[in-house]
Structure 1
Amino acid sequence: MNKLSQNDMEHLVDLVQRGEITANEANVMKVKMARFVIVTKLDANLRSVLNAAVKSGELGHKKKDGHKPEVYFHPNFEHLANEERNLAEKRAFEAIAGVLGTGR
């Protein structure tokens, strides 16, 4: 999973604390800086902020599809989001196979 560096997180927090951006803008910037974010659970307010960014074209979004997780991503890095979703699906299938005893 793609995560932000400590410096990037501190930069976003600093911008919010100085009043240069809102917390909602920081959340959108966080996704853009990380290139993609795999989603399992989201607060309703955060989901609406990210969906508004999708509608405005700032972010891309792919819904959960079978065992592929939901993802928000920077539009220029859709290929990375697709790759991570495929890896997550593969890990899920391997876990299921392991439980069923059909693994290696």
Structure 2
Amino acid sequence: MSNALDDLIAAVEANDWQDMALAYALKGVNPTHVRHAYKGSLDAAKALHEAALPGWEWELHQSASILWRDSDTENAILQFNDTPARAWLLAILRAMKEQASD
């Protein structure tokens, strides 16, 4: 799953809509949520977060998203993007990658 996550993260960072189909390769992820979060839906990003990262806390700012597991704010995942939902999406994907490597 790590390669699919890496490829999807790269596609989101590159604003490459064509590669959003990569989300279909991820287990436990609703590709519709990925697509809508990519397009700017905070509701979709929140739904994806709740499904993929139960127990993870989050903060959303104008151009940044911060995620952390339990109360472990020292190892928080900080992600920036001009689109808040896309910042959250990237943070979620990076957190999923972190979980996959645990």
* TM-score, with structure 2 as normaliser: 0.30
Structure ranking higher in strand proportion: 2
* TM-score, with structure 1 as normaliser: 0.30
Structure of larger gyration radius: 1
